[in-house]
Amino acid sequence: MCGGGPAPGMNSVISAATIEARNSGWDVLGIMDGFEHLIEGRIEEARPLSITDVSRIHVQGGSIIRTSRANPTVRDEDAADPDWRLHACLESLQKLGIGALVTIGGDDTAFSASRLAEAAGGGLRVAHVPKTIDNDLPLPGGTPTFGFETARSVGVQLVNNLMTDAITTQRWYLVVAMGRSAGHLALGIGKSAGATLTVIAEEFPRDEPIRLSRLVDVLETSMLKRIAHGRPFGVAVLAEGIGLRLPQDELAKAMPEVERDEHGHVRLAELELDRLLAKQVKDRFKERGQNVTVEGKNIGYELRCAPPIPFDIEYTRDLGYGAVDYLKRLLEGGEPGGMITIQEGHMVPLPFGSFSDPETGRVRIRLVNVESSSYRVAREYMIRLDREDLEDPERLRPIAEASGLTPKAFRDRYGYLAEG
């Protein structure tokens, strides 16, 4: 069963798990549309899977059993049984005669899988295969989640095309990449494509909101620095999670026409971060009587169902086989289930609970480590305003001229960006 958004390699997991289970003498069912039908008791939506059904799907994107975001752990406090969704799922699985379940999904699906295994009290063994193009699950040793490498590869191709267009037409593109909780995908795309700069939420203090004005300052000064170098074009890549940390008062001022919820907050679905920032940056230049072409682009859906690259195919075949191998051992006795990982070429299951936040019970989020050497290298190759630009008069003068300010006025206005 698959849960959450698509990721390249899902079919490869389904294929490998089905083949190994069938070769072990097990019957295999593909549960359609995640937890959706199980919650509603529609067990007829499960279909038998044979080796013939899955023999060549490992090279295909998407999922032959589809996926959904239906969540059996959502509680209904007004119901006689607040956990009726969870119990309905278990009842459906029991009716189907399922004793071992492979779940394929991200942090929400991992949490649902652990709750199902716990609630079953030994009647169901669960192997969870972690996937997300966001790469934000805490796999040991920095191992990527499957789908990330393919999504990055496709994203790099798109950004390279945009960079060629930017050079050809002397314009700017602001590209927002998926990653609500962490900036791995945006940074991976930006660094690999040699984007002009990449901005992720992790580079800002975690206990403070990200001011829209500061974000625009970062983009504007990078553009001014490029202009000073005689290269008035570029591509900036931003992580979509930045939008979650923008303060509502600034969003209300910047987007007065956008639909809001009952609390007056801008709906995240309505927040087109790429277009919002493009307008803000263009307005900055327009105020100085300068014209720049800035286009916003959002990439994400183009990446999720791409055919997996060889790395993800090999990786997911290991994971699918490992899930069934783990379930065989679980059925002999032991813990109710866990998450499958590959460490130094070996399948290593992590028991449910070992990768969760003890306070929330949810799977811990793996953030970009902005203190790492890898991130430092990424920053070194970005075009961003830095301390040397402000301290060297020969470097500062042309940047200040591009902004229409004196060097002192420029330093007073934008110098805070180079602090720390």
Q: Which of 33, 107, 134, 325 is catalytic?
A: 134
Longest dimension (CA), the chain: 77
Asked whether the beta carbons of 223 and 292 are under 8 A apart, the reply is yes
- 392: Cβ contacts below 8 Å, ≥ 6 apart: none
C-alpha span between 318 and 365 (Å, rounded) = 23
C-alpha span between 104 and 50 (Å, rounded) = 19
C-alpha span between 191 and 362 (Å, rounded) = 30
Query: Where do runs of H (alpha helix) occur along 331-392?
Result: 373-380, 387-391
C-alpha span between 302 and 286 (Å, rounded) = 33
Which of 369, 34, 91, 12 shows the shortest CA–CA distance to 203? 369
Both structure tokens of 126 = 């669960």
C-alpha span between 54 and 29 (Å, rounded) = 12
Identify whether 134 is a catalytic site residue. Answer: yes
Active-site residues, by number, are 134
